[in-house]
Structure 1
């Protein structure tokens, strides 16, 4: 919902081409009270004064896909295969997919009932504890801001594949300007750009799946392959404890399960974008369902065929290179005798990291707007342009991308790597907090006598499914640095757990300074942001053109 100084409201007529703003005059009662009271109500609403609902379902789905399918799939999946083997990696990715689904449906119930900006922090603050919202929000924002710098660096490394003599700093600067400028455009432009960025990724993955079927069936230079890599060198790869084969294979599986979780992170962007989505009661559930199944299909399908085409002991697979040379997609093509793909895949990788960088700035800026809404960040982060862009939050988030220049020096690169490690577990912390918030949300509904059957989106298997996600996410958070114990390495321990330590400091510090209390179920705010959306008018126009019908089917 968009307001103008408390005197106007806007309803949105949603068409096949996008939402059209139609101003309507508010009732006299909306003018009552002081300007301070109006401002306070706007802040509490969570949908700040100026943010506008211009994202359609197809935008929402592609934002989540674009934020998830990245270097983790195109390059990192090779490391997963080398660590756990084809069967171990496949099981790990499928299992973590169930954890992601538990998070997505939990978020879906809350985001459709109360679709607000900065949803994660707002739900945690409203239903559980304001300190949880503060700590989770800031560490999650920091993870996206630092990841922006990481993606800018990756873009330079990818271009160096073609021109090794060029300095990576040139491309960090150029792409920083481009991505930052894109995020100052209205959110509908962002959604459209991300839609096409993500479409390239989707088409690439689909093309690889078709390619994998053909090569495995005998189209390559080695003829029919079948499941030969599962027999030689094997379905599971030993990891670290090679003198104990059975345990070593489990350790490899567990290490990849943690890596799979990092790869899936970004699906929760659907919740961030809910505050700027047209007709969220309909588009958010559709986006959550379709986005999850598509991402699971892309990830599990890709891991499955990579495992069929590339043996886990391939030397290029374990080289640690960050360019197309170590991509299992490229290795599979080269093993099959196809020599023209490396440059093409490298070009796709460039699109991948630029898309991810675009999502980094968008999601980071909206999280900090949500923090400002809740009083956990300065109020000037709520300032927006006339087209609804929170320009202060965008500029502040984008500024952290300049940390990528630390890679220009050896010492700076070491500092930068520590920053990156701080962000490593932020996604798991966020997923855990979403699950905890959902449990508290259901208790608040019960305390108010509100039936879950009345929710716009009702997930099955609750609350047990949320508990399932919470338990395993916590186990992953606590064990993700297990290699620092084999044998003990103090530096590696702090590198692995610095994010968890930082989260604890933020939480305890806020608790001590602000003296916050846990929210009682009966006192949880289930109304602010919900009543506003119920008062809005969404008129859906049935598309008549073939193009419009296609996007209606997609959404």
Structure 2
């Protein structure tokens, strides 16, 4: 479908210092008379946002976003639920799903490197109403996740001191707000350092765990795979026999999803990324490999170190003393490990709040670009920060003070639970966007080689992973439907996000009378022409000592 004449649209192109051109016309400008409202890279993004994130920032953002309390504190709960082999298999399956999600995101984001990432992709490839629903679900989830992380930081500091938690709340609100208002490159550098700290601790704990397991600590006997034999490789959960062992494995898998949460956030600031059509695919590919490697090794080592029936694992890592690494180190007579783990977990929690701020504010900015949020959120500083979006998030950071009241904190955690299933909803939308892109290319007879980045297997992996995400989403709270296990909080955290997203979708669909975009009308030719404007730039090869660690992001 082509414009009728040159007067049908106006294309604004800004030339940045790096020599990249960006087509600033919206779909409605390029294709008048259609119902689709999805933009390509808009002139507003090009003009108001600054490309401060480099390839290494994106790669480390994805790693930092997915390595957190779920790995340092929560793996013990996975071993307790499914046993050492059940936990390993559960994380392996979710690792494959994460692989499919990352490659699907990379293919679409390389073609459409827009602020808001898969939220805007949903508008462009599926339905503007879907973009509205997914976008506001992400904004809501990120708004609440920041005070929840600050609350977690206060709890972690209680391991060392009994200072009034109000002090820590104020300090971390100021620190998080400061990162949000500063240059996006400063945010990238901070998260880069945090990611290095996390990776260093993961590698250290894995090596330490192997040393302890093999009897390398004087006075500590060799463990080997003793706990795989007694109490056994699997744990029966809810039921007995093979069915119970399967339910234990499935319970691990549903929990593993949330451990990997965050890998999808690396493309949220695509319009603030240097050479996004090259950087985003590379980051997606590398982040998957590193994260799965770290998690699989960590799960394997934890299953060797601590028996699945150890009562200290109860609580799934709510405090540092429930970390399986800390349990094993304490048994080996290494008293400093709890404090080291606690310190890194505190930085992990602050890192998570910073990433939630970046992700949420960029989604909100993207919604405002589409008229799905007030235009006031389009205001940016001279250095490219959407300061009104950040200001809104800063207001909601004050919810962390609810942790000072027992009654208020109960309400607060219920609010947080509403979006616990948002990870699977986001992954499902990423995979569905990719499936629609491939379908549109087949319908319009466009060669897949025209995509900036593509892989032959994603045509199979995306549908399979989407099926898995939907099944896991629908069964994530299966325990509450078994006899004697009803729990309102678990039911809410597992399922309430589904009607919330559906309600938002139907509201915008009927309010704006949107329609599902026809595969024939998706303007892929325009998107591909825009992608062709980017010239491949030579890669900067690392030199000197930095090459020893640059494999993490290069």
Q: TM-score by structure 1 length?
A: 0.89
CA distance in 2, matches of 1:314, 1:370: 47
Which of residues 306, 310, 315 in structure 1 aligns to 2:311?
315
Aligned length: 529
Q: Which residue of 2 is the match for residue 443 of structure 1?
A: 439
Residues 238-287 of structure 1, C-alpha deviation per residue, up to 9 Å, x if partnerless? 2223xx23222211111110110011011111221322211122211211
Kindly state the Cα deviation for residue 23 of structure 1 after the two structures are TM-superposed: 10
CA distance in 1, matches of 2:354, 2:373: 23
Structure 1 unaligned residues grouped into runs of 5+? 1-5, 14-21, 34-39
Conservation of the 8 A alpha-carbon contact between 1:94 and 1:300: yes
Q: Which residue of 1 is the match for residue 190 of structure 2?
A: 193
The answer to whether 1:104 aligns with 2:109 is: no
Q: Which residue of 2 is the match for residue 408 of structure 1?
A: 404
Conservation of the 8 A alpha-carbon contact between 1:11 and 1:536: no
Q: Which residue of 2 is the match for residue 82 of structure 1?
A: 80
Give the secondary structure class of the aligned counterpart of 2:327.
helix
Residues 180-210 of structure 1, C-alpha deviation per residue, up to 9 Å, x if partnerless? 1111111111101100011100000011111
Kindly state the Cα deviation for residue 539 of structure 1 after the two structures are TM-superposed: 4.4
Higher mean alpha-carbon deviation, 389-398 vs 89-98, is at: 389-398
CA distance in 2, matches of 1:52, 1:527: 27
Q: Which residue of 1 is the match for residue 229 of structure 2?
A: 231
Distance 1:540 1:321, change over 3 A: closer
Q: Which residue of 2 is the match for residue 132 of structure 1?
A: 130
Kindly state the Cα deviation for residue 378 of structure 1 after the two structures are TM-superposed: 1.6
Distance 1:542 1:318, change over 3 A: closer
Which of residues 236, 260, 265 in structure 1 aligns to 2:261?
265
The answer to whether 1:202 aligns with 2:199 is: yes
Correspondence 1:41-80 to 2 at 5 A: 44=42, 47=45, 49-80=47-78
The answer to whether 1:426 aligns with 2:422 is: yes
Kindly state the Cα deviation for residue 489 of structure 1 after the two structures are TM-superposed: 3.4
The answer to whether 1:338 aligns with 2:343 is: no
Higher mean alpha-carbon deviation, 348-357 vs 311-320, is at: 311-320
Which of residues 472, 476, 484 in structure 2 aligns to 1:476?
472
Which of residues 9, 13, 34 in structure 1 aligns to 2:14?
9
Kindly state the Cα deviation for residue 406 of structure 1 after the two structures are TM-superposed: 1.5
CA distance in 1, matches of 2:488, 2:531: 49
CA distance in 2, matches of 1:100, 1:544: 28
Conservation of the 8 A alpha-carbon contact between 2:424 and 2:473: yes
CA distance in 2, matches of 1:80, 1:174: 33
Give the secondary structure class of the aligned counterpart of 2:102.
helix
Correspondence 1:270-281 to 2 at 5 A: 270-281=266-277
Kindly state the Cα deviation for residue 367 of structure 1 after the two structures are TM-superposed: 1.2
The answer to whether 1:361 aligns with 2:357 is: yes
Distance 1:111 1:173, change over 3 A: same
Q: Which residue of 2 is the match for residue 151 of structure 1?
A: 149
CA distance in 1, matches of 2:178, 2:332: 42
Kindly state the Cα deviation for residue 532 of structure 1 after the two structures are TM-superposed: 4.8
Kindly state the Cα deviation for residue 288 of structure 1 after the two structures are TM-superposed: 0.9
Q: Which residue of 2 is the match for residue 499 of structure 1?
A: 497
Q: TM-score by structure 2 length?
A: 0.90
The answer to whether 1:175 aligns with 2:180 is: no
CA distance in 2, matches of 1:248, 1:51: 52
Kindly state the Cα deviation for residue 142 of structure 1 after the two structures are TM-superposed: 1.6
Structure 2 unaligned residues grouped into runs of 5+? 1-10, 30-37
Which of residues 347, 357, 371 in structure 2 aligns to 1:375?
371
Question: How much is the aligned-residue C-alpha RMSD, in angstroms?
Answer: 2.6
Which of residues 505, 508, 527 in structure 1 aligns to 2:506?
508
Q: Which residue of 1 is the match for residue 163 of structure 2?
A: 166
CA distance in 2, matches of 1:267, 1:61: 10
Give the secondary structure class of the aligned counterpart of 1:463.
helix
